């Protein structure tokens, strides 16, 4: 299992950055290899990805979500991964967005990509594209402000 941590500072208020991140169906606009995400309900998503010419579909559960602070998830099927995105207010119009993920690559292509640092670079690129996406818009495309408490809390 690999752990990847990437961060990016975005020139928008924390509320705007967080609200956009809750719009999972917009992820294909800035995440490389993400073909589609369907929001099934408040805590479940279905993903379609493509990496190295291999398509994969999997479901994920949002395990914790607190407005303007964090969104955490874990995969239910397919590639084994989990992570958390945190949002830190730097000033009124600047936010640090940090992605921490644990990924267990599945298949030959993903394992080679992990060993060569391709997955790290992909996440870094995704974070930069998120920055460009939200800063060019200047506002979020939608929002979900509900709380999801960590299991056992």
The H-or-E segment that residue 115 falls in is helix 108-115
Give the distance from CA 18 to its chain's centroid: 11
Query: Using 50, 70 and 90 to split pLDDT, how confident is the model at 152?
Result: confident
| Encoded tokens for 90 | 């730097």
| Predicted structure pTM score | 0.89
- 2-137 placed in CATH 3.30.530.20: yes
Predicted confidence (pLDDT) per residue in 27-52, tens digit: 999 999 899 999 999 999 999 988 77
Higher pLDDT, 74 or 108: 74
Confidence at residue 116, expressed as pLDDT on a 0 to 100 scale: 61
Mean pLDDT confidence for 88-95 = 98
How do the domains of the chain map onto residue ranges?
A: 2-137
Determine how β-strand 44-51 pairs with β-strand 94-104: unpaired
């Amino acid at each position: 299992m690999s752990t990847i941590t990437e961060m990016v500072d975005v020139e928008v208020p924390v509320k705007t950055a967080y609200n956009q991140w809750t719009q999972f169906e917009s992820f294909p606009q800035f995440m490389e290899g993400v073909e589609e995400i369907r929001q099934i309900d408040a805590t479940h998503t279905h993903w379609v990805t493509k990496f190295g010419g291999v398509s994969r579909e999997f479901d994920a559960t949002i395990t914790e979500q607190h407005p303007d602070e964090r969104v955490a998830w874990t995969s239910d099927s397919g590639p084994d991964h989990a992570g958390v995105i945190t949002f830190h207010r730097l000033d009124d119009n600047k936010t640090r967005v940090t992605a921490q993920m644990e990924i267990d690559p599945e298949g030959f292509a993903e394992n080679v990509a992990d060993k060569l640092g391709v997955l790290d670079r992909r996440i870094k690129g995704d974070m930069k594209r998120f920055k460009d996406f939200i800063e060019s818009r200047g506002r979020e495309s939608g929002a979900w402000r509900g709380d999801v408490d960590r299991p056992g809390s």
